Structure formats: C-alpha cells, structure tokens
Structure 1
C-alpha cells in the first residue's frame, strides 16, 4: 500500500457533533436511541440499543441523528470508544459521528480506528478534560485503499479479530467467575459469624464520624509535597487508592484537620450505585491528602477491627442494603446518609474471631488475585496482538492471499 492511500478522514467522512436535549419530558423516552460514551464502551463494536432514548422532537431540537452504518466515536470521557450504528441514532456531546460521503466498507474503518485509540487519545486537548475536536478528528490520517481492498481486508479481520475477541471473552468470563467465587467465600464466612455470634448494628462500634470538605480543585493529581483532595474513587472494593486525588490550588489554604492518616477507616457516602458505601482502611500514606465531603472518616471502638468492617462491607448483605437505601438525582450517582451506614449489620464476633476470618479470607483472595493477574496478562497480550494484526492488515503488511506477512 502506498502513501497515496493515506488521506485525512474528512476526504471520506463528514464529522457530526452530538448534543443533549433539555430535560423536558417531551424530549425523552421515545423511539430514537441516544448513544453516550458509556453505551459505546459496552457495545462490542456494534450498537443498536442505548440506555436512554429520545423522542423525535428531542432528537431534532437537542441532538443530531445519523444513519445506520455510521461510525460513532467517544471523543471525551474517554476518547476512543467506537461502534458502528446498526440503525438511525442520536448521540450526546461526548461523541462524534463519522458519516461516509464516499463509498466505503465501514467495517474497514471501524477496525482501523479501533486500533488507533492511543493515537486519538494523544490528540485530545483541554485543561478541564481531554477532548478530541471535530477539526482534529477530521484531520486524522487513515489508510484508504480502493473499495474492493477494503472489503477483502475487512473480511480477513472479521475472521481473525473475531477469533481473538472470542478468546478474550473467555478470559474476561474467567475473571468474572473468580470474582464470583471470592464473593461466595466471603459471604459464607460472614454468615458463619452471624450464625455463631449474632448481629449488631455498626453504630454500636462507632466512636465518632467526620466528613471532609470539597473545595474547587485543579483537574490533576497533586504531586508529593502538594496538598490534594481525595476523590470518591480513592475508596473502592475494600482498598484505598491515594493516587485518586485532585490538586488543591496553591493559593487555597488546606483544612489540615481533614488530612488522612494511616489506620483511618474511610467510607464513601456518594458514588455510583454499585460502589457507594465502599469502605477501606488507609495503609502507609504520604502527608497532605485531605478527605472530600463525599467520604466519611469513622473512628471505631476497641471491639471492632477496622479491616474486618471493610471486608464485611464488601459482602452481599451490606451491598444490597446500600443499593436499596441509596438515593440520588441520577442513575450515575447515589448517596447514603450516615444514619443508614450506622444501621449496617455486623457480626457481633469477638476480635479473635474477626481476625481469624480476615486471615482466612485474605489468604483465599491472595490466591485468586494471583490467578486474576495471570488472566489479565493474557488479555493484555491478546489486545496487543489484535492491534498489531489490524495495523498490519490496513497498512498492507499482510498478503491476504496467503495470510503471510509481519511476525505478530
């Protein structure tokens, strides 16, 4: 393939921007699918249904509709999810569509752009969040052989990439099974303690509760030595992630009383419905990280091991209570009141029994984590092979008559 086949996307496609209608009832819950980056991320390359829909009025006045066979690409939060629209579809401002203005095999360009995620992300601009502009997207260079070659390459990739994707799906299902087994063992151990010692509300073990503060921060993590405010994502699935923070502006005085310390028990009061109510104990941590107002710091009495509480909070009983009690203004964010957290049922076990369960469950989770790490390494290798195969095929490095070419 020669350089004559490399052209900017604008030579082949029209870039269409998306939008969001007003909340008026007349705009929503109609027959027009309305894609978001979340929908694209879950699409596996082809999209026909979306979480939310628009009426014809909403699509006409607040969004844009593109025909079936268009490519829809997420251009922020994050950049790079891509899918082929299987029907007429609207989409929000986090996406842009590519509507063909020349005869193309859309599968060929889907594969090519799906392998260019890192390159597209590097083209993002913006201080608050990275966004791929219409102009930059339209200027992105792609290989564009004649239509017959596009079809031959797309057919080849459909077969070979499909095989890789099926292998990846098996690995992803294995990760799900490992997580399910972890949860089943955790629930079993928790129920054993309930059966042996009964239940007590969490409030019985609480000495004090403190809630942080959320000043306006810079959209970047704080460097060591700088003050940062923790995000809710710093507490997730029983673990504390100190790198999940935003830099406090230099001109703003920190609220030193909210600085987190090793041994603090943190519980989130706001997050997505699946993650709200997450608990974790802070391990070794650097100085100058503050609680945000969506995280509680809970001091407990001597009768409760804080790591035991964080582990019990991952169990199905408390997760179900969080899902039932959480309330908020959107499907993407839920909230818990401290009184609801205080009612969590905790096995009324003595410290020795708490720590024995911690040891047993941690040992099992450690073995599972090793298996999961091996599976994720395999997934990484499959992703690398997928991208290399696509790049080699679209750039002419593979002889499709023999299947021979670069060493992948």
Structure 2
C-alpha cells in the first residue's frame, strides 16, 4: 500500500455484506426505476430543447439587429453588392479596405498575453480555455501583436465565424489577420464583432475562402479587405447594442432558470435511484 492510496484485495471484498432483496422485489424496483427515470429524462430533454430554442432565438435576434437594424419599417435601399441585398436607407456599404488596414506588428519577447480566437468566444485569453487542448510553443517571439479595438481573424476558421475584436494587448498566431480601423470610432466593437459573425457574413466567408474543402479553407487578408460591409452610423450601432443586449439578457435569465431546473431534476434522479436500491424507499 502506498501513502494516500488504499488497495482492497478480493478476499477483503468478499467479506463485505450486501443486502439483497428477493428476486420479485428486485424486478419491481427495476420496473419502478425504469418508469420514473424515463419520466425525469423526458422532462430534462424537453428543458434542454427549450434552451436550444432560446439560444437559436438569441442568435436570430442578434443577426437581424446587426444586419437590418431595429426598425423593421425603416425605408430600405437596394445595394450594388452582389450579396448584400438591401439595407436601411441611411446605412452605407463600403469595402473593408476603405475601413481597415492590416497590421503586422510582431512581438519581440513573446511575453505578452497569449490570445485565442474562436467562433464561440471571439478574442479571449488562452489561459481561460481550460477545456481546449492546444500545442504550446516554447517561444512566442515573432507572434503577431494586437491591441485594444483591433479586429482579429483566425483565417483557418473564418468560415465558422472565428473572429473578434480584442479588448487588450496580446499576441496571436503569425498566420492570423489583424486589422485596425482607418478612422478610429467608425465601429462600435460589439456591433462590429456581431456583424462580422452574422450568418450572412459567415456564409460569404465560405464562398470566398480558398481551399479544397472546409478543413483547408483560408480567408486571406486580401479576400476580407475586398469584401463589402453594410453598416449604420455609430450612433445607431450603439443603440443596436443597447437594445439587443437588453433583449438577450431576458432570454439569458430564462436559460439560467431552466438550467437550474435541469440540475434539480438530475439530482432528483440520483436521489431516487439511491433511495430505492438501498431500501430507503419501498416500491
């Protein structure tokens, strides 16, 4: 036996008394638990589906707000773009190259905070990715630097919407695309990130990215900079963020409540099984 680790030999295990009800009672227990756990599992499944629907509604709400605005009755104009159909009449369409410039600033020491760029969380510290396993280099000197308000694309996963606006100084892969607004303040960061991660834009990345199949698609800088962006004045962007966040927070509150209910049902299932098989509850 090692310190901190206990071993049980078969001879010792054989000495443990195990309460065993009659066969007929065992069958009643099994039938009872099959029925009750199935009912609980069905209730959990319905609540999980409700969460999925709420998440879908959130995504649809954000997509619609950032690509069409808050007023569905606002006058709309047809654009000259081949893929952006119509936009509110006071919005504008510009190619990204007239809005951003590519930045290729490199880290000397490689000691800045390492950042990750994903389609789920945008630009976030790599240290927060506890459930993601990634090769860690010994030396990050030569990595691309990004600064607050910089737009960062993971060019290998742009077809999934892997991009975001950084809120800090950090380093990313040398192969990523880093862009800075030509006119500071043109975009609200929240609005810009959600616009570029909207289904309309992600679909266009898929069309324009180069590669033989999805796992090899790349959205290189010249491709992004040639794309058109349809967007409203900054004041409208701010309003879109405020109103959309308000509506999303309401859905999030419901999701949190439903998740709590799921946890309680799961605990009820465990408690029920334990009580019945140990004889604390007779069936």
Q: What does 1:310-349 align with in structure 2 at a 5 Å threshold? A: 310-328=193-211, 331=214, 334-347=217-230
Q: Which runs of 4+ in 1 moved over 6 A?
A: none
Q: RMSD of the alignment, in Å? A: 3.7
Please identify which structure carries the higher strand content.
Answer: 1
CA contact (8 A) 1:211 1:291 kept: no
In the superposition, relative to structure 1, how do residues 161 and 197 fare at CA in structure 2: closer, same or farther (>3 Å)?
Answer: closer
CA contact (8 A) 2:113 2:171 kept: yes
| Pairing 1:361–2:240 present | yes
CA distance in 1 between partners of 2:211 and 2:238 (Å): 36
Structure 2 match to 1:297: 178
Please identify which structure carries the higher helix content.
Answer: 2
Cα-to-partner distance string for 1:89-142 (whole Å, 9 max, x where unaligned): xxxxxxxxxxxxxxxxxxxxxxxxxxxxxxxxxxxxxxxxxxxxxxxxxxxxxx
| Pairing 1:169–2:53 present | no
Match among 270, 275, 284 for residue 161 of structure 2:
275
- SS of 2:104's equivalent? strand
Count of aligned pairs: 238
CA distance in 2 between partners of 1:259 and 1:338 (Å): 16
* TM-score for both structures, normalised by structure 1: 0.49
CA distance in 2 between partners of 1:400 and 1:176 (Å): 43
| Pairing 1:207–2:221 present | no
* TM-score for both structures, normalised by structure 2: 0.67
Deviation at 1:153, TM superposition (A): 0.8
Structure 2 match to 1:231: 116
Higher relative contact order (Cα pairs below 8 Å, separated by 6+ residues): 2
CA contact (8 A) 1:228 1:248 kept: no
Larger of the two Rg values belongs to structure: 2
